[in-house]
A = this chain, B = another copy of it.
């Protein structure tokens, strides 16, 4: 039996998963494809380092060019991560006619257009299911299952660490910092959690999904990104009383002549499926004009799921190599030149209901000042709660608004901030009504 030769750049957690999966299922996959899959070479920084999977040390190299320039390699797996070096190796591999499978969401979010263009020009396959939400088939569903449909909305939870922290804050009532420390100790959060809890990782993923769903280039700088670090247990409790759960929501919506692409904490109605996705799970809702709302849920990260997605892409590409179909269709499903650039709407043009928590002195007149400023800016209040009265200490006043334009709300909050009645930053959380 002929073989399909694979080179891999990077041998971390995901790389080890790929080695194990290919080892375990190699013969079944060969039956399926009609050729053996042979992992020829892996490029690593340190050939002496202990790895999570057995691999012949003689086939490790510290020089990734031995992979991207080797005439023997058919498919390159890029699981090294990062931007510049990964991009440069990816583009080189593609230029050399190699099919590429990548789990690198950062690279695709920031430099995806260069990669897509290169793959289309070279006529090679590009598999990137593993870049978003592990083995949850989000990319394939948007690219193939919804190819017939017009997608109206893609939204969900695409960062397991953030969801794990919010879920535990909800269950245990403890502050963000405490849960983060514990999550780091347990291995659920990284030593530098900024990308996860700051929303950047979610933003990478939703930028990729938006581009694919709405068939447009998306400039990553246009993706509004707000993390969960400012969320307090009090916000979570108040959300619960109003019938919501707080989630780090990534959202891409089709408007009339623009799209929304953003990541921020949101209060999701408790009876919505996404509100009930807890722990480190991910879930993505894809709404088609015809297909209606479909939700895909699963682990979203980790060696096993991500390796499963990487190898599924390899199986697809392998099959196409065998029958001569590889690289015949552009990596995003349609010719790149047929796309139109759809602008991303600025976040202050978004309309939403809002949860607002003001920290103010407990004295008469405060609510009048706040509601006056809101009213002058066309924000109307749907309900108000003030809990507890502590003498000489600031209290929380929580307001829920009706639908309002974010720029109006910003003006109102600026006005309130100038009055100096607020004794701490005002918290604002968007309500995800159609989540």
Contacts A150-B25, A325-B324 given; indicate if A144 touches B276 (C-beta within 8 A). Answer: no
Asked if A255 is at the interface (CB within 8 A of a chain B CB), the reply is no
Asked if A137 is at the interface (CB within 8 A of a chain B CB), the reply is yes
Contacts A291-B135, A325-B324 given; indicate if A308 touches B148 (C-beta within 8 A). Answer: yes
Q: Determine the residue in chain B with the shortest Cβ distance to A292.
A: B299
Contacts of A140 in B (CB 8 A): 137, 140-141, 144-145
Asked if A290 is at the interface (CB within 8 A of a chain B CB), the reply is yes
Find out whether the CB atom of A308 lies under 8 angstroms from the CB atom of B325: no
Asked if A74 is at the interface (CB within 8 A of a chain B CB), the reply is no
Find out whether the CB atom of A292 lies under 8 angstroms from the CB atom of B135: yes
Contacts of A25 in B (CB 8 A): 148-150
Q: Determine the residue in chain B with the shortest Cβ distance to A31.
A: B338
Q: Determine the residue in chain B with the shortest Cβ distance to A129.
A: B145
A144 to B328, CA, bound (A): 18
Interface stretch (choices A50-58, A195-203, A309-317): A309-317
A311 to B290, CA, bound (A): 10
Q: What bracket does the count of chain A residues touching chain B fall in?
A: 35 or more
Find out whether the CB atom of B276 lies under 8 angstroms from the CB atom of A290: no
Q: Indicate with 1 or 0, residue by residue over A288-327, a CB within 8 angstroms of chain B CB atoms.
A: 1111111111110010110111111011100110011100
A102 to B309, CA, bound (A): 28
Asked if A191 is at the interface (CB within 8 A of a chain B CB), the reply is no
Contacts of A316 in B (CB 8 A): 144, 147
Q: Determine the residue in chain B with the shortest Cβ distance to A291.
A: B135
A305 to B297, CA, bound (A): 19
Q: State how many copies of this chain the complex holds.
A: 2
Asked if A134 is at the interface (CB within 8 A of a chain B CB), the reply is yes
Contacts of A310 in B (CB 8 A): 148
Contacts of A291 in B (CB 8 A): 134-135, 298-299, 304-305, 308-309
A329 to B329, CA, bound (A): 17
Asked if A363 is at the interface (CB within 8 A of a chain B CB), the reply is no
CB distance from A308 to the nearest CB of B (A): 4
Asked if A331 is at the interface (CB within 8 A of a chain B CB), the reply is no
Find out whether the CB atom of A292 lies under 8 angstroms from the CB atom of B276: no
Find out whether the CB atom of B129 lies under 8 angstroms from the CB atom of A311: no
Contacts of A149 in B (CB 8 A): 21, 25, 135, 308, 311-312
CB distance from A274 to the nearest CB of B (A): 11
Asked if A334 is at the interface (CB within 8 A of a chain B CB), the reply is yes
A sample of 17 more A-B contacts (CB under 8 A), given A137-B137, A293-B298, is A21-B148, A21-B149, A135-B149, A135-B294, A137-B141, A137-B145, A144-B315, A144-B316, A273-B273, A290-B304, A291-B304, A291-B309, A294-B296, A294-B297, A294-B298, A296-B297, A323-B329
**Which A residues have a C-beta under 8 Å from some C-beta of B?**
17, 21, 25, 28-29, 31-32, 34, 129, 134-137, 140-141, 144-150, 273, 276, 288-299, 302, 304-305, 307-312, 314-316, 319-320, 323-325, 328-329, 333-335, 338
20 pairs, A vs B, C-beta closer than 8 Å: A25-B150, A28-B150, A32-B334, A129-B145, A134-B291, A135-B291, A136-B294, A137-B140, A140-B140, A140-B145, A141-B141, A144-B316, A147-B316, A149-B311, A276-B276, A290-B307, A292-B305, A294-B299, A320-B325, A325-B328
In the A-B complex, the 5 residue pairs with the closest CB atoms: A135-B291, A148-B311, A323-B328, A294-B298, A325-B325
